[in-house]
Amino acid sequence: MAKIHVLATTRKETRPLVTDERSRAQRFERIFVPHLDAAYDFARWLSRDERTAEDICQEACLRAFKSLDSFQGESGRAWLLAIVRNTYYTWFTKNKADAAAVPFDEDGTIAGAELEAPVESIERILQQRDARRRVNAALERLPQEFREVIVLRELEDLSYKEIAEVAHVPIGTVMSRLARARKLLLQHLQNTEES
């Protein structure tokens, strides 16, 4: 393992920093591993396919690890999700024909949960499953740029500033896209209730 000694200067002191692969891996784990589920969920919503999302997430993690030295420490989650987004768009341009035909299927229930549920809650479980299915279908119908911001805001709970960083757009654009996305989502949900 090669070690690189760098002198770090602060106002109070000068001290050597030791940077090696182990410390880089520990830094990566500390900053980004807590956000891997969010990265996968975001990749899944973008790609609409679980296996593709896994590949995108894995590639994004490799890119994040390679670029770890350029991370400035603001928000590890936003930085990783920006890399996931960029990785998805790279993948999408290479696989345009395949991406358009990929169905998205998300059940979202825990295996066996219905078997342990009391009889009176079965109706509630079925209603929740139906509502989840309708919302997922409505989300799928949204154009990419609207689906992206609403997933980041409502499912991943990112701030407008973080979404702007991830999507590389001004905050005003984020706000505009969110408003349009919510309006379209509501329209799609109302249309499914009517039919």
Strand pairing partners for 17? 6
Residue matched to tokens 């990783």? 80
Q: How far apart are alpha carbons 148 and 32 in whole angstroms?
A: 20
Q: Residue 8 pLDDT more than 50?
A: no
Q: Is residue 134 assigned to a domain?
A: yes
Q: Write the CATH number for 67.
A: 1.10.1740.10
Same structural domain, 60 and 130 = no
Amino acid 149: pLDDT: 92
Domain limits for position 81: 21-105
Please state the domain count of the chain: 2
- Whether residue 3 lies inside any domain: the answer is no
Q: Are 168 and 113 in a shared domain?
A: yes
Say what angle helices 76-94 and 160-167 make with each other, to 10 degrees: 40
Q: Are residues 69 and 134 in the same domain?
A: no
Q: Phi and psi of 17, rounded to 5°?
A: -110, 135
Q: What would the pLDDT profile of 45-97 be if each residue is shown by its tens digit? A: 888 889 999 999 999 989 988 888 888 777 888 889 999 998 998 888 887 65
Interatomic CA distance for residues 191 and 195, integer angstroms: 6
Same domain, 76 and 127: no
Question: Residue 74 burial (CB < 10 Å; 0-12/13-18/19+)?
Answer: exposed
Written as one letter, the residue type at 28 is F
- What torsion do the CA atoms of 96, 98, 99, 102 make, to the nearest 10 degrees? 160
11-33 pLDDT, tens digit per residue, is: 333 333 445 778 888 888 888 88
| Count of CB atoms situated within 10 Å of the CB of 53 | 22
**Separation CA 61–CA 177 (nearest Å):** 27
Domain membership of residue 116 (yes or no) is yes
The residue among 105, 140, 175 that closes a domain is 105
